[in-house]
Amino acid sequence: MRETISEPHRSATPLPVRASLGTAAVLGLLNVRVAVAPTTAYLMVHSPGRCSANCAFCTQARESRARSELLSRVVWPTFDLASVARALSKAPVKRACIQTVIYRGFLEEVIRIVSAVSGSSRLPISAAINPLSIEELKALRDAGVERIGIGLDAASPSTFERVKGKYVGGPFSWERAMGMIDDALAILGRGFVTYHLIYGLGDTDEDFLGL
């Protein structure tokens, strides 16, 4: 179910991209007052539908009934990528982080976003992703991604399968996710790979400490 970079998807057309509400405010794309301006610009690929994965906790999941413009409890309005890139060139931010959902051609669009950001600024770029192949990780690195954040989310195999894997009809497995951590470390190096965990999905403190 995982897509590869060889799948063409709207490559010759202007690309829509989402930005978190706080990011849109600090980039001057929306007239919104924020209590604390973010120093990281959070962007997200613009899926034509729901994510093909079905993580039980995610507002973008295939079977989620949440509003499609939400990720977690944050609103992500849509803008043209060129406008976002221009705004990033003069914005007071220190990093760009690209969030991903899975759909046909999503990785190609991530690479287009990375290219636009790196072409308009010198911002270091992170990507928050789910398990990919070694070739796809190398493609992200070669495009300009400095850091990778892997959506492990669960701290034990049983919880992972219950909220991200086979029990919710998801494409992920614990073994592949753990393998991707090793792959990413080999490609990007220690200190440039993190994994995300969610406390409260059913794992114990011992599960977290044992990772």
Model confidence over 43-77: pLDDT tens digits? 999 987 889 999 999 888 888 887 777 777 788 99
Say what percent of the chain tops pLDDT 70.
94
Model confidence over 148-172: pLDDT tens digits? 999 999 999 999 999 999 999 999 9
Q: How far apart are CA 154 and CA 114, in angstroms?
A: 28
The domains located in the chain, with CATH, are 16-210 (3.20.20.70)
For residue 3, the model assigns a pLDDT of: 41
Pairing of strands 95-99, 70-71: unpaired
Question: Please, which residues have CB within 8 angstroms of residue 191's CB and are 6 or more apart in sequence?
Answer: none
59 or 88, which is more confident: 88
